[in-house]
Amino acid sequence: MIKVFIVDDSALVRQVLTTCLDSHPGIQVIGQAADPLFALEKMHKQWPDVLVLDVEMPRMDGITFLRKIMAERPTPAIICSTLTEAGAAVTLDALAAGAVGVFTKARLGLRESLQQMSGDLIRQIEIAARCQPRAMPRKAVETPPAAATKIERAPAVHLTTTDRVVALGTSTGGTQALEVVLRQLPVDCPGIVIVQHMPEKFTAAFAQRLDSVCAIEVREARHMDRVRPGLALVAPGGRHMQLKRSGAQYFVEVLDGPPVNRHRPSVDVLFRSVARHAGHNALGVIMTGMGDDGARGLLSMREAGARTVAQDEASSVVFGMPKEALRLGAAQSTESLQGIPRLIEQYGRSETGIKRSS
């Protein structure tokens, strides 16, 4: 039985969500509160398996509350939000603080909307209950020394071309994990292409947030963007991203298409294109996430001669995607979250890429 606690200042939201969730035989709403301070008092009596948490609330906002929970007793949390441009940044802050999912609330027709989407919320709760959330490592929240010189970064025209590329694929827990990795990379690191499972309208704000705290440039990918050193391109939510090559240069195609492994963008779509067009000139890293998206694509990369790595279980919020990659023999090795930036730097410094173990 999954024990759920709801924190939302709307009595209607609390009432509707409680009714919907209690109707599921595997979920029990053990409590609800209008603000985090009331919630904390109740939660200490019986701690939930999953929190359903609003962002804007009286006395203490949801993000501050989430950071407090993650520091003291990390607990899977799903954020209730609205898909608005203004709200996207707030929601991304919550994801960066440790939330493992986002549930969209409608501004109008709230009762009907929540009832219609209760199935999606139930699925998210079931996923969240299997997560192992972790607070952001202290080193990751400190400003990296290189970030202070970011405004002096050379224009793209002055950067040398590289024939190597790093491909990262992640899902649940990935917003935090990517920040840990990208914040530690120097401006001369290899070009990076990223698929993070995230809804449409969130990826641009997510990339902007990363760009603001990283020494490298991070942005949402546009069709025909060139992959170059010091740049990380994030696949847009709701669209696939593929790597292509023209001569010594790589670029990305952003395209529509049906979901692959239930996802769009799909890690498999990106990894398979990297296998085809970069082959042994690529490093592929599959990171924390539910399901198996990316595992077969990473196997294609390995078969094409790429170096392939899976994030280890100890540092993964959800070990699903890395575990499947290891089961298939797609990943040659595992690496901790804190070790992945060092791995990418090593790959960038070596003229022949990372040496393969025998």
pLDDT the model gives residue 42: 96
What is the pTM for the complete model shown?
A: 0.84
pLDDT the model gives residue 145: 45
In the sheet that holds 231-234, the strands lie side by side as 217-220, 231-234, 191-196, 165-170, 282-286, 307-311, 333-335
Answer for the pair 60, 38: CB distance below 8 angstroms, yes or no.
no
Provide the β-strand partners of residue 4. Answer: 29, 50
Q: Cα 149 vs. chain centroid, distance in angstroms?
A: 26
pLDDT the model gives residue 208: 93
pLDDT the model gives residue 84: 47
Q: How far is CA 292 from CA 19, 267, 298, 323, in A?
A: 32, 9, 11, 8
**Which regions in the chain score pLDDT beneath 70?**
82-87, 106-109, 136-162, 351-358
pLDDT the model gives residue 351: 58
Please choose, from the candidates 122, 82, 78, the residue with its C-alpha nearest in 3D space to the C-alpha of residue 106: 82
pLDDT the model gives residue 343: 97
Please give the torsion angle defined by the CA atoms of residues 177, 341, 149 and 159, in that order, rounded to the nearest 10 degrees.
-120
pLDDT the model gives residue 104: 72
Q: What are phi and psi of 164, to 5 degrees?
A: -120, 155
pLDDT the model gives residue 86: 54
Answer for the pair 181, 215: CB distance below 8 angstroms, yes or no.
no
Answer for the pair 170, 340: CB distance below 8 angstroms, yes or no.
no
Residues classed as catalytic: 171, 197, 293
Provide the β-strand partners of residue 196. Answer: 170
Provide the β-strand partners of residue 251. Answer: 226, 244
| Torsion 347-348-351-352 (CA) sign | positive
